[in-house]
Amino acid sequence: MSKIQELYDDMISAMNVEGLKIPIAGVKFYQQGEPIPKAVAECVPDGITLTSCQSARQAGFGDSVLLTAESIGCIAAAITFGLVDEHQDHPMGDSLVYTDVMKNQSGLGEEFQPPTPNDFTTGTVYACTAAGRPDFALFGKDDSGRFESPEIARKAISDMMAIQPPTTQAVFIYAREFDDVDVEPDVVVLAVRPVELTRIIQAYQFQTGKRVTASMGGLRVVNSDLMVRPYLTQDMNISTYCLGARLIGGFEADRLGIGMPFSQFKEMIEGMKLSKGGFPFQLYPGSSDMAQA
């Protein structure tokens, strides 16, 4: 049984709601030169690219994926994870999940020139309308872009945590059931309803007394807010799912995310077991509505 599975079972048991399911993903960062176990390396997607939000969502269904510079389907996530230099001035590939949406709406066909990582970093992609790049839009001629101007986009990007300069070889986003090899995650991400988030925060505070703060933005939520921020700060973070996570990853309307270092995840689970008599989650309104994994 995997480490995450064992702790997950403890969490669900302590919540004391029969059939409760909370989608969960383990995240392991492999730095350049670090050996990758064979069973993990075999999880590279075959012939397709996947975004980080797709990967996190699929982990909730039991699928595991190893994202590399070749298999990741989102340039923004590649920047965040440190798989590519944020100032790289040539495209990462001809067909990526995110840029294929741009290509399809542009109507340019094979003449479409995909954006480079630098186009994201300078704010050109996120402020495509103001930057005069309608080919980088996602929703056709009426697309406002994600920010009013490239300057505002750069301001927002400056607060999106990223591993830069790039030092990452691969990122393993995996299901709790993955036990082909003993992998200890750097970060654990849970897709929760507000009622479940309530109990998680209570459990974490039971032994620590520490308040939890949230830093969130409208973009790069899964890769930056929920994975890289907890990885770099070694502190949990809460964020709502963003445009890509909702429309590409398919996260449901009643879900938001919490990401935490594995050490805090273990601490939270212990607090939940010890405090279940003082926080009867099964009595909370809505707690018995079975979550969809």
- Across residues 149-169, what is the average pLDDT? 98
Average pLDDT over residues 72-98: 95
Residues 221-235: pLDDT tens digits? 999 999 999 999 999
Q: Residue 292: is its pLDDT beyond 50?
A: no
Q: Work out the percent of the chain whose per-residue pLDDT is above 90.
A: 94
Length of the chain: 293
Strand, helix or coil for residue 156: helix
Task: Calculate mean pLDDT across residues 134-151.
Answer: 96
Residue 290 has pLDDT above 70, yes or no: no
Q: Quote the mean pLDDT of the chain.
A: 95
Amino acid at 285: P
**Banded model confidence at residue 43, pLDDT cuts 50, 70, 90:** very high
For the stretch 93-122, pLDDT in tens is 888 988 999 999 999 999 999 999 999 999
Segment 51-65 mean pLDDT: 97
**Helix/strand/coil for 152:** helix
Average the pLDDT over 202-218 and give the result.
97
Residue 235, Cβ density class (10 Å: 0-12 exposed, 13-18 middle, ≥19 buried): middle
For 228-293, give the DSSP string. Answer: IHHHHHSS-EEE---HHIIIII---TT-EEEEEEHHHHHHHHHHHHHHTTTS-GGGSTTTTSPPP-
- pLDDT grade for 23, boundaries at 50, 70 and 90: very high
Closest-CA residue to 64 (of 27, 11, 9): 27
Q: What is the reported pTM?
A: 0.95
First to last CA, the chain: 19
- Tell me: the pLDDT tens digits for 168-187? 999 999 999 999 999 999 99
Q: Given this model, what pLDDT does residue 293 score? A: 38
Helices (H), the chain: 3-15, 38-41, 52-59, 75-81, 97-106, 117-121, 150-158, 194-208, 229-233, 243-244, 262-275
**Among candidate residues 162, 124, 130, 175, the one with its CA nearest the CA of residue 148:** 130
For residues 191 and 168, give the distance between their C-alpha atoms in angstroms, rounded to a whole number. 25
CA gyration radius, the chain:
19
CA distance 240 to 248: 15
Q: pLDDT at residue 2 above 70?
A: yes
CB 183 within 8 A of CB 42: no
**pLDDT range class, residue 129, cuts 50, 70, 90:** very high
More confident residue, 191 or 288: 191
Structure confidence at residue 85 (pLDDT): 98
With H, G, I as helix, E, B as strand and everything else as coil, classify residue 31.
strand
Say if residues 281 and 15 touch (Cβ distance below 8 Å).
Answer: yes
- Cβ 188 vs Cβ 25: under 8 Å: yes
On the question of pLDDT at 291 being above 80, the answer is: no
Tell which residue, 248, 215, 219, 185, has the closest CA to residue 54: 248
pLDDT score recorded for residue 239: 97
**Per-residue pLDDT at 98:** 87
DSSP classification of residue 149: S
